Amino acid sequence: MNANDKQLVANRTNALKSTGPKTPTGKAMVALNSVAHGIYSVSPVIEEMESKRSWTGYRFAMWDGLAPVGMVEAILAERITLAAWRLRRVARYETEQIRLEQEGAMEEVGRRLGYKLNRDLAAADVQEILDEAKWREERWQRISALSTASDETPLADEDAEDLIWFVHEQLGQTKQFDGYWEQLPAPEAWNVGLIRQPIRGLSEQHGKPFEELLRTLSDRAAAEWGQSYQTAKEAQARVNEYRREHLLPDTETLEKIQRYESHLSRQFHRDLHELQRLQATRLGHPVTVPIAIDVDVSTESKSEPGGAE
């Protein structure tokens, strides 16, 4: 026996070991392999938005629960699974529509506040208003620390620069700030003690007592913080109000969702009841004959002969 004959025998032996699916679910799913047209030939997975792996696992779990036997039950099980998968998609679509509505909060509040403040405000400007209150509070705390904190209290470089800028602004020397800051020796790390020295020098240079200058800076920083806090408070209240008002999609979108969901729900329950009826019949349980009612809905009025209604 040559190598080719041995391989042929081995292939036939291996083929006998492969008996196909052994579970009822696997057998029922294989029963649909011959159906190569219609809704069963196309995967319902939307590329880049849904996972084929999730669909495969979801489909198997549904079939395992429905336990179809034979072609007819398998077709109904597939229809039920497809309807259930699409119902899940409806829920995701509704959530996405609400998320998009929520994202419009900043832009809408910007329009409302912009009208009140007599200036154009974009969504980023509204976020800046919200952030500014926190930033001004932190500035006031840094200025207060100049009077109370120990010399070793650390300061970030940008905080030290902001303090020097604020002093120049208070003294009416903003044009001189860039040159002054550039000529200051840059320490390895700023702290309260190091920043006090140039501020003290500036106060003496302009004939302002150091402690008095610190009180003036603290009072001004507190007032600016209070004003920005009130503006941010109003902006946040408007954002929260907008988001509460848009916890549901707009009317047109909501009606579309409800129609589609109702259609899928009717299909799901109709096929599920039919599958349950077939399974009960197969198992020898008594089954009532379903009642079919044909309904014709028309908006046109029907008149009696002769024109009488």
Question: Do both 110 and 227 map to the same domain?
Answer: yes
The total of structural domains in the chain comes to 2
CA separation for the pair 300, 132 (Å, rounded): 62
Structure tokens at 271: 């096929």
pLDDT tens-digit profile of 77-114?
999 999 999 999 999 999 999 998 888 888 878 777 76
Question: Do both 122 and 213 map to the same domain?
Answer: yes
**pLDDT of the residue at 64:** 94
Question: Do both 111 and 213 map to the same domain?
Answer: yes
Whole-number Cα distances in Å, 172 to 124, 167, 260, 287: 30, 9, 66, 93
Does residue 304 fall inside a structural domain? no
Question: Do both 228 and 123 map to the same domain?
Answer: yes
Does residue 300 fall inside a structural domain? no
Structure tokens at 84: 């259930």
Q: Give Dmax (Cα) for the chain.
A: 113
**pLDDT of the residue at 304:** 47
Closest CA to 72 of 287, 293, 281: 281
Does residue 298 fall inside a structural domain? no
**pLDDT of the residue at 280:** 94
Question: Do both 89 and 188 map to the same domain?
Answer: no
Closest CA to 162 of 174, 152, 151: 174
Which structural domain range is residue 259 located in?
19-103+250-292
Question: Do both 239 and 138 map to the same domain?
Answer: yes
Does residue 153 fall inside a structural domain? yes
Q: Residue ranges of the chain with pLDDT lower than 50?
A: 31, 34-39, 303-305, 308-309
Does residue 13 fall inside a structural domain? no
Question: Do both 214 and 285 map to the same domain?
Answer: no
Does residue 297 fall inside a structural domain? no
DSSP-assigned letter for residue 190:
E
Question: Do both 232 and 117 map to the same domain?
Answer: yes
User: Considering the entire predicted model, what is its pTM?
Assistant: 0.58
Does residue 7 fall inside a structural domain? no
R_g (Cα) of the chain, nearest Å: 37
Question: Do both 96 and 115 map to the same domain?
Answer: no
Structure tokens at 8: 């042929």
Q: Is the dihedral of CA 181, 182, 185, 191 positive or negative?
A: positive
**pLDDT of the residue at 305:** 47
Question: Do both 35 and 115 map to the same domain?
Answer: no
Does residue 3 fall inside a structural domain? no
